[in-house]
């Protein structure tokens, strides 16, 4: 049975999958990692992962943008001739999720998603991405080993053309992967935004956000 998002105490959906790749990228084939994620919690992870993959597949985002989003969230160097293009990769993720869901519901058929449910939070998410945009772009584009171009622009496209919820989660993953520092006040704001999306607090920060203490507070 699919869990409600507030019941999932780890990052979920596609952003959660990128965390699996960031942590476990060398311990199995890509599809083995996807299958393991889809099976997490007796299959409770699969519906959210499928929804995110379909949300991007149904969006007008170009393949290059999808590739950039994946590479930034998993801390992988962006190369145009990578092993698979973004849309094909999302289709394989979706197929793995459908296969896992059908173990419990053999008649399951995914339906078109329709409009993203959190359109009203688009401007809030965009404001946070833009607030740290220069630092995030510098950290990703100038990384000596895992450089990724145009990350902020790709995240903005994800928010405006796909889903503000997913865009925010991918933004958080990129901030964590590249260790972009934020203030305590911004950290609190991220949690407030996550709460408005119905996240568990550990979706916003699983210990990987880099928070710099305010100068007027004791360490």
- Token representation of residue 58: 């149904």
For residue 10, name the pLDDT band (cuts at 50, 70, 90): confident
Q: How far apart are CA 102 and CA 81, in angstroms?
A: 33
Q: Would you state the pLDDT for residue 217?
A: 47
Q: How many percent of the chain have pLDDT more than 90?
A: 75
pTM, to two decimals: 0.93
Buried b (16+ CB within 10 A) or exposed e, 173-208: bbbbbbebebeeebbebbbebbeebebbeebbbbee
- Give the model's pLDDT for residue 9: 63
Q: Give the residue from 155, 217, 152, 205 showing the smallest Cα distance to 9.
A: 205
* pLDDT tier for residue 219 given thresholds of 50, 70 and 90: very low
């Amino acid at each position: 049975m699919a869990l409600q998002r507030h019941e999932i105490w780890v990052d979920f959906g596609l952003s959660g999958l990128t965390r699996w790749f960031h942590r476990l990228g060398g311990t199995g084939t890509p599809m083995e990692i996807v299958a393991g994620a889809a099976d997490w919690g007796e299959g409770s992870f699969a519906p959210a992962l499928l929804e995110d993959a379909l949300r991007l597949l149904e969006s007008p985002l170009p393949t290059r943008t999808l590739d950039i989003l994946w590479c930034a969230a998993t801390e992988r160097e962006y190369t145009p001739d990578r092993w698979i293009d973004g849309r094909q990769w999302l289709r394989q993720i979706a197929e793995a999720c459908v296969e896992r869901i059908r173990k419990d519901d053999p008649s399951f058929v995914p339906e078109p998603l329709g409009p993203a449910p959190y359109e009203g939070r688009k401007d809030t998410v965009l404001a946070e991405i833009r607030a740290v945009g220069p630092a995030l772009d510098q950290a990703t584009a100038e990384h000596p080993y895992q450089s990724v171009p145009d990350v902020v622009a790709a995240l903005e496209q994800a928010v405006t053309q796909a889903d503000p919820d997913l865009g925010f989660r991918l933004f958080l993953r990129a901030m964590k992967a590249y260790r972009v520092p934020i203030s305590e006040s911004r950290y609190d704001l991220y949690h407030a935004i996550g709460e408005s999306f119905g996240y568990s607090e550990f979706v916003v920060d699983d210990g990987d956000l880099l928070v710099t203490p305010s100068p007027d507070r004791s360490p």
